[in-house]
Amino acid sequence: MAHMTNPLATPEQLFQRRSFGALPMDLQDAVFFATQCLTQAAGILLELPQSITAQANVLLARYWLVEPMMSHEFSDVSAAILYLTAKCSDLPRSPRDLCLVYTHLLSRTSSTFFRPAHLPPPPPPLSPSNQPPTQADYAAFHARLLPLEAHILASLSFNTHVALPHPLAVTYLQALDFFGQPRRGPLARRALAYLNTALLSPQLLYLTSQPHALAVAALYNAARDVGARMPACDWWEVFDVEREELGFLVVGMRSVDGWGRKIRAEAIEGWEGGMVTREDVERELRRRGIGVGAGNENGGGLGDAEEEMARRMDEKMAAMEAGAA
């Protein structure tokens, strides 16, 4: 059964997410969203199939339920997980390829790759910064990548198993007799699109539902969008999904699109697509007057550093407590 099931998040893990480093939920969601998009973009540039990139997305989501978000740079976590997932698959990618792709995606000027199309193009660079990484850049990247790989594996108990719902969705389409029908193309495409979008969901749908439920919900949504005639009975029960769970997933999947647009626009001031960094988040926290910046406006640099240290230690404590619990 291992090919069809995933380990799911426990209620404690989901709850604990709120307490990590007192990072507000909307910021966590924004970082999650941006990092998952970055992983997807990197997967495409590295010519990895979606079956591998999607696994990386799921592993990333799991990792952030175990470790506090702010303990490593987000893009590094994305790179390490994608590296790890590709390594365990048939299509390993070298650290150098990853370095090249991530440097490109992170350069603010050249990276239009995962900016939404409707936004204005980024301002022209003052100095051309979209050069390939130097040897020193690569060495630094490599030195961050490998320890993080091991750290991520230890955080996940070395369980890199991810069962994706995509093949199940196709199988279900076959079981429902949709293949051979003229409109199967759009229906299947739409269903897979829902599954891929769900990877970005702040509700962590892949960590709370098993693949068969995700597949059924994606089919349900796709059939509604395309106008395909589904059986009149409770057909989802054939695939072992309850009406209640289906309803939750259907709404959850449908809401990602609108939510994503909104969070891009609102979560972090001055952030318009592109990748978020820890620095961005810290600046945003200061702007809101919480966490790092709280009561520290007149303190200055040194106080900042101390606060920062204290916050990191708090995080560590929270993590340790969580681990003990």
Partner 1 sequence: MASKAKSRWADDEADAALEAQLKREKEEKKRLKAEKARKLEAERQAREAAATAAAQQEADSTNGPPAKRRRISPNRETSQTAEGRDASNDAPKLLRFEGGAFGRCRSVENYDKLNDIEEGAYGWVSRAKEIATGKVVALKRLKIDPKDRSGLPVTGLREIQILKDCDHRNVVKLQEVVVGEDTSRIENIFLVLEFVEHDLKSILEDMPEPFLASEVKTLLQQLASGVAYLHDNWILHRDLKTSNLLLNNRGQLKIADFGMARYVGDPPPQLTQLVVTLWYRAPELLLGATRYGPAIDMWSVGCIFGELLTREPLLQGRNEADELAKIFELCGVPTEDTWPGFRRLPNARALRLPPSASSKTPGAGGSAVRARFPLLTAAGAALLGSLLSLDPDRRPGAREMLAHEYFRQDPKPKQEAMFPTFPSKAGQERRRRRETPNAPARGQRAADLGAVDFSGIFSGREKEERGGGFSLRMV
Q: Please check whether residue 166 is in contact with residue 194, taking contact to mean a CB–CB distance below 8 angstroms.
A: no
180 binds partner 1 (CB under 8 A): yes
Q: How far is the CB of 24 from partner 1 (least distance, A)?
A: 24
Query: Three-class SS of residue 163?
Result: coil
146 binds partner 1 (CB under 8 A): yes
Structure tokens at 68: 């506090």
DSSP letter string over 44-77? HHTT--HHHHHHHHHHHHHHHHHS-GGGS-HHHH
323 binds partner 1 (CB under 8 A): yes
Considering the complex, state which of residue 27 and residue 81 has its C-beta at the smaller distance from partner 1: 81
End-to-end CA distance of the chain: 29
Considering the complex, state which of residue 9 and residue 48 has its C-beta at the smaller distance from partner 1: 9
177 binds partner 1 (CB under 8 A): yes
Q: Which stretch binds partner 1 (CB under 8 A): 81-89, 99-107, 187-195, 275-283?
A: 81-89
Among 18, 25, 130, 179, binds partner 1 (CB under 8 A): 179
d(CA 170, CA 179): 9
Among 159, 266, 269, 309, binds partner 1 (CB under 8 A): 159
136 binds partner 1 (CB under 8 A): no
Sign of CA dihedral 224, 227, 231, 232: positive
The secondary element (H helix, E strand) that includes residue 291 is none
Q: How far is the CB of 148 from partner 1 (least distance, A)?
A: 9
161 binds partner 1 (CB under 8 A): yes
Query: Three-class SS of residue 8?
Result: coil
**Which residues in 199-226 are b (16+ Cβ under 10 Å) and which e?**
bbbbbbbbbbbbbbbbbbbbbbbbbeeb
Q: How far is the CB of 192 from partner 1 (least distance, A)?
A: 20
d(CA 242, CA 237): 6
Considering the complex, state which of residue 9 and residue 253 has its C-beta at the smaller distance from partner 1: 9
DSSP letter string over 73-125? -HHHHHHHHHHHHHHHSSS---HHHHHHHHHHHH-TTT--TTS-TTSPPPPPP
241 binds partner 1 (CB under 8 A): yes
Binding mask 85-104 for partner 1 (x = CB under 8 A): --xx-x-x-xx---------
Q: What distances in angstroms separate CA 52 from CA 74, 83, 176, 207, one per listed residue? A: 19, 10, 27, 17
Burial of 144 from C-beta contacts in 10 A (0-12 / 13-18 / 19+): middle
Nearest Cα to Cα of residue 80 among 138, 151, 140, 28: 151
Considering the complex, state which of residue 5 and residue 130 has its C-beta at the smaller distance from partner 1: 5
Considering the complex, state which of residue 41 and residue 156 has its C-beta at the smaller distance from partner 1: 156
Considering the complex, state which of residue 147 and residue 247 has its C-beta at the smaller distance from partner 1: 147
Among 25, 119, 140, 150, binds partner 1 (CB under 8 A): 150
Contact set for partner 1, span 246-275 (CB under 8 A): none
13 binds partner 1 (CB under 8 A): yes
312 binds partner 1 (CB under 8 A): no
Among 242, 297, 306, 321, binds partner 1 (CB under 8 A): 242
d(CA 150, CA 158): 9
Considering the complex, state which of residue 87 and residue 286 has its C-beta at the smaller distance from partner 1: 87
Residues of this chain that bind partner 1 (CB under 8 A): 1-10, 13, 62, 65-66, 83-84, 87-88, 90, 92, 94-95, 142, 145-147, 149-151, 153-161, 163, 177, 179-181, 210, 212, 229-234, 237, 240-242, 323
